Structure formats: C-alpha cells, structure tokens
Structure 1
Amino acid sequence: MLTVPNVITFARLCAVPVAVWLVLRQDFAMAFWLFVAAGISDGLDGWLARRSGPTLVGTVLDPVADKALLVSMYVTLAAVRVLPDWLAILVVFRDVVIVGGVLVLGVMGQSVTIRPLLISKLNTFLQLALVAVVLLLSAFDRSWPWLSTTLIWAVAASTLASGGAYLWKGVRGQ
C-alpha cells in the first residue's frame, strides 16, 4: 500500500485544498505552478506504477486525485469569475452522471468495467489545458479572449460528447 506511486498520488490529492486556497487568494502564479507539478506527478506516478505493477489503492486513488483536482479547479475558478459558472456546472454534472451511472449499474448487478474512451481522453486534455491557460493568463494579468473562448467551447463540446458517449455505452450495456 505504501508504494512510491501511491505516496505521489496521495501528495497530489493533498495538493487539492492548497490549489483551491491559492485560487481563492488569487495567487494564480503559485496555483499555476502547483497545477503543473500535479500534472507532472500524475505522469510520474503512472510511469512508476506501470514499472512496478499497479496496486489496488493506486488504481482507486489515482483517478480520485485527478478528478478532485480538476473538479475543484473548475468550481473555484468559476467562483472567482475566471471561468464561466455554466462550464463548471457542466464539467461537474458530467462526472456526477458517470459516477451515478456506474453506481446504478452496480446496484442492478451489472459488472462495470471503466475504460476511458478516446473522446474522454480528449476531454481531459482540453480540461487540463483550459485550467493551465487561464491560471497562467491570470497570473500575469493577461487576456487572450480568442484562446480562452476557444478552449471554453472546446471543453464544453467535448464534455457533452464524452458524457453522451458514456451514457450511450451504459444504456447499451457495453
């Protein structure tokens, strides 16, 4: 249980409240660097886990840490008016629908295997890119509306597509 990848993942999970606090204080530069460090640590713990073999704790904790950071950043950045509130609601709602669907299928006795879809991987990339870009721009008091707007709509579209794809898979029983 106490493997290096799990310790790194737990540290990333512990960084979530710090990142929220930094954004609420509008210390966007520190929040940006913490977000970058979390991204690097996610890659590092994944690489280490593949080399040493994954653990049950790691397979549960890693996606929880990832989702906790992303959802927290969307909600907090919306609260401080850096991102639109409707986007934060959409991102959170998609995750709630997916988790709720998995729970319902589990209660119904259906085996649920969660494998990320290609659209979901694209969605995660776009979500991460948007948070990084708005933190960086906010840190330097810069505004590139075309970039932010493009990423916001790309995240919205990919979030809807990803949520719809998971819903479709769940309904079809695949």
Structure 2
Amino acid sequence: MNIPNKITISRIILIPLFMFFLLAPLGLGDILIAGYVLPWAHFLGALLFILAASTDWLDGYYARKYNLVTNLGKFLDPLADKLLMTAALIALVELALLPAWIAVIIISREFAVTGIRLVAAADGQVIAASNLGKWKTVFQIIAVSALMLHNIPFELIGFPFASITVWIATILTIISGWDYFVKNKHIVLKSK
C-alpha cells in the first residue's frame, strides 16, 4: 500500500476519533476564549476534523506529484471524503448546531453524484470533480469547522461567519449537484 492510500486510511481512522470527542460527554470542561465559552470536547473534535479534512488535499497532491494514483486510492479517497462529511453533518445535527434539512441536502447530493459516477464507471467513463464540486467541498469543510467551534473567533465580534458559510456551502452543494446532472444526463438517460 502506497503513502497516499495510507494517508486516506488515516482520514477514515480519524472519523470515529473526532466523533468520540465531539459527541461523548467527557466532562472535559470548557475553554474560555476572550470571554466566550467553548466546550473542550467540541474544540478537540474540530481540530481532529480539520486534521482529517486536510489529509484529503495531502493524499491527492502526493498521489499526483509522485504518480502514485491507484484504483484503491480512486475508491478510498471519495469514500473517506463522504464518510467524514456525513459523520460531521450528523454529529452537528445531533448537537443542534445544524438544521437537519441542510444535512439531508448535502448528503443526498453526495449519494446522487456517487450514483452517477458508478453508472459512468460501469461504462468505463470517469467523471472528474468539477471546480464547483471542489469549491463546494472547501466551503463544507469551512462551515463544519466553524460550527464545531461555535463560530469562534467571529462570535466575539458578532459576525455570523458559520451561518454564512453554511448557506454558501448549501447553495454550492445544490448548484454543483445540478451541474453534475446536466453535464452527465446522457449517462443517466442512456438506454442499452
């Protein structure tokens, strides 16, 4: 197993760890940041989520730079991404930090795009991630991180950064999902 695949597997391993810290009633107490209280568990969960999310860029960069792209990596990388984001969204709904309908939209889009990619793969076609899809991912990671951190440091000045990034991520999720369907409708509508 090559290094990019090991990095991807580390992302999958970090998922239950960040969930444990984020959701477990550990009684770790709170961290005080300029007068604003943030649970230590949420802070640690957010750090682990950010670490896991950053490995997505790292494994892809390493695989492309050193020509280490493998079929296993092509399978594991998007799986790890979807597992990480789905776990984070469900945890945020559980913590009442994110409305369930937003999580459903984001998760549904991921299932739909994965379905299109599977149908295309069965025909020997590969659907690469679009720029819209990449921006969607960036804003989802930023939004999830901001929610886990309870909008700190922006909460200190009353700026709703987390809410704004959630809305941007949701809109990009819808637009990029629509874009995938429009560009690949021939795959879905193809009859043999």
Q: Which residue of 2 aligns with 1:3?
A: 2
Provide the C-alpha distance between the structure 1 equivalents of 2:119 and 2:182, rounded to a whole number of angstroms.
Answer: 15
Q: In the alignment, is the contact (CA less than 8 A) between 1:28 and 1:138 conserved in 2? A: no
The CA deviation string for residues 113-134 of structure 1, in whole angstroms up to 9 with x for no partner, is: 1211121111111101101111
Q: Could you state the TM-score of these two structures normalised by the residue count of structure 1?
A: 0.85
Q: Could you state the TM-score of these two structures normalised by the residue count of structure 2?
A: 0.78
Provide the C-alpha distance between the structure 2 equivalents of 1:114 and 1:105, rounded to a whole number of angstroms.
Answer: 7
Q: In the alignment, is the contact (CA less than 8 A) between 2:151 and 2:161 conserved in 1? A: no
The CA deviation string for residues 144-168 of structure 1, in whole angstroms up to 9 with x for no partner, is: 5622221121111111101111111
Letter in 2 for 1:30: L
Letter in 1 for 2:13: C
Q: Which residue of 2 aligns with 1:126?
A: 139
Q: In the alignment, is the contact (CA less than 8 A) between 1:94 and 1:160 conserved in 2? A: yes
Q: Secondary structure at the match of 1:102?
A: helix
Q: Is 1:19 matched with 2:18?
A: yes
List alignment gaps of at least 5 residues for structure 1: none
Tell me: higher relative CO, structure 1 or 2? Use CA pairs within 8 A at least 6 residues apart. Answer: 1
Which residue, 167, 179, 185 being the options, matches 1:171? 185
Which residue, 114, 124, 147 being the options, matches 1:99? 114
Q: Is 1:156 matched with 2:170?
A: yes
Change (3 A) 1:117 1:43: closer
The CA deviation string for residues 78-117 of structure 1, in whole angstroms up to 9 with x for no partner, is: 12111111110001110111122334455xx644312111
Provide the C-alpha distance between the structure 2 equivalents of 1:115 and 1:15, rounded to a whole number of angstroms.
Answer: 26
Which residue, 35, 42, 49 being the options, matches 1:28? 42
Q: What is the total number of aligned residue pairs between the two structures?
A: 170
Q: Secondary structure at the match of 2:160?
A: helix
Q: In the alignment, is the contact (CA less than 8 A) between 2:119 and 2:187 conserved in 1? A: no
- Report the identity percentage: 27
Q: Which residue of 2 aligns with 1:42?
A: 56
Alpha-carbon deviation of 1:15? Answer: 0.9
Structure whose residues are more often helix by fraction: 1
Q: Which residue of 1 aligns with 2:38?
A: none
Q: Which runs of 4+ in 1 moved over 4 A?
A: 142-145
The CA deviation string for residues 60-89 of structure 1, in whole angstroms up to 9 with x for no partner, is: 211211111011101111121111111100
Structure whose alpha-carbon radius of gyration is higher: 2
Provide the C-alpha distance between the structure 2 equivalents of 1:171 and 1:164, rounded to a whole number of angstroms.
Answer: 10
Alpha-carbon deviation of 1:57? Answer: 1.3
